[in-house]
Structure 1
Amino acid sequence: MRIQTIITICGMVFFLHACQAQQKNLIDAQQFEQGIGSGKDIQILDVRTPGEFNSGHISQALMANWNDPKEFNRRVSFMDKDKPVYVYCLSGGRSRAAAEKLKADGFKEVYELKGGIMAWKSAQKKVEGASDKPGMTVEQFNGAITSHKIVLVDVGANWCPPCKKMEPVVKKLQEKYGDRFLLLNVDGGKDEEVLQHYRIQELPVFMVMQNGQPTWRRDGIASFEELEKALFP
């Protein structure tokens, strides 16, 4: 009986400790703002859909759609497990599940915005990204790829973790080759007409155009050497 009582007490203590830890990492809009503005090397993760994200999001947020498990897992695989992650959704349901998944996957510090972006807006905190500006048309795209002999098309988005990982690679190419090629950025969250025309279903995507014609394509990340060889075979 005494052993059973001890086991029961230990179980209760463990449960209470787990609840306290969860409550500690569930923070309000003010605490969330302080955390992401602390100057530390942090990551902000929006787990809503692309449509929700494009209606307005917290500055510097990455996006991984919780409703699409394959996309979510692929994008968070490019994030740093040793850096704090501040996660949010619309009202708190998806971010709670996502936070648990991140912790189970080995992320050391995960903080969740209580009440989601609805609470953030209610606290009169700033969002960015909401725009009525039309996306790039296929006609505009075709005009751009014929304006230079060699064009590297970079289809990505600021909120896409693997796209962010590719930024220094693309920058290195620009620094080495200068105006020998044109870099054409396509917004993977807004330029829907171009995305549909080229059947782009994941980000990033890189395409090389020579004299207006496609000569190479990579769906996903690529090394510096692969891009260099595709541009200058």
Structure 2
Amino acid sequence: MSTQAKTFNELISGDQPVLVDFFATWCGPCQMMQPILQDTAKQVGDKVKIIKVDVDKNQLAASNFQVRGVPTLILFQKGKVLWRQSGVEPAHQLVNIINQNIPQTV
């Protein structure tokens, strides 16, 4: 197992939820996701870690989660998939999905 894959697995296995954006540099809709993810990150703060994974550079991770199209967004917590969607999602929708899947912490 490569160090990169191990690091990815460690990231998605933690207590903190992680929203992973599987993307490709040549993908137009993927480029549209960047400002949406920045907006989402501002709204959810530390509740969720948001990472981007280039499917061309990380084929093993993309293959392990059957990513067939990009962008594909997957919300993980403790290594489990809480939600997944292919295609562009608006920021308000992502915030709603995060809030529905992750209980509020006090």
Query: Normalising TM by the smaller chain, what interval?
Result: 0.7 to 0.9
Conservation of the 8 A alpha-carbon contact between 1:135 and 1:191: no
Contact 1:156 1:185 in 2 (8 A): yes
Of all paired residues, the percent bearing the same amino acid is 26
Residues 168-209 of structure 1: per-residue CA shift (max 9 Å, x gap): 110001112222211122112110101111111111000111
Q: Distance in 2 between matches of 1:211 and 1:230?
A: 17
CA drift at 1:212? 2.5
Unaligned runs of 5+ in 2: 101-106
1:62-211 → structure 2 map (5 Å cutoff): 136-137=4-5, 139-211=6-78
SS in structure 2 of the partner of residue 190 of structure 1: coil
Task: After TM superposition, give the deviation of residue 148 of structure 1 in Å.
Answer: 4.1
What is the CA–CA distance in structure 1 between the aligned matches of 2:77 and 2:98, rounded to whole Å? 8
Q: Residues 162 and 210 of structure 1: is their aligned pair in 2 closer, same or farther, counting only changes over 3 Å?
A: same
Shift, 1:149, TM fit:
2.1
Which amino acid is 2:13 matched to?
Answer: T
Letter in 2 for 1:155: F
Partner of 2:93: helix, strand, or coil? helix
Q: Alpha-carbon deviation of 1:140?
A: 2.5
Q: Measure the CA separation in 2 of the matches of 1:210 and 1:225.
A: 20
1:157 partner letter: A
CA distance in 2, matches of 1:221, 1:172: 14
How far did 1:223 drift?
A: 1.8
User: 1:155, 1:181 → 2: CA distance?
Assistant: 16
Between Structure 1 and Structure 2, how many residues are aligned? Answer: 99
Where in structure 1 are there 5+ consecutive unaligned residues?
A: 1-133
Aligned twin of 1:231: 98
Shift of 1:135: 8.5
In 2, Cα distance between equivalents of 1:135 and 1:230: 31
Give the strand-richer structure, 1 or 2.
2
Question: Is the CA contact (8 Å cut-off) linking 1:135 and 1:193 kept in structure 2?
Answer: no
Structure index of larger Rg: 1
8 A contact 2:25–2:31 mirrored in 1: yes
Q: Distance in 2 between matches of 1:226 and 1:210?
A: 19
| Residue-by-residue CA offset, 1:54-109 (whole Å, 9 max, x unaligned) | xxxxxxxxxxxxxxxxxxxxxxxxxxxxxxxxxxxxxxxxxxxxxxxxxxxxxxxx
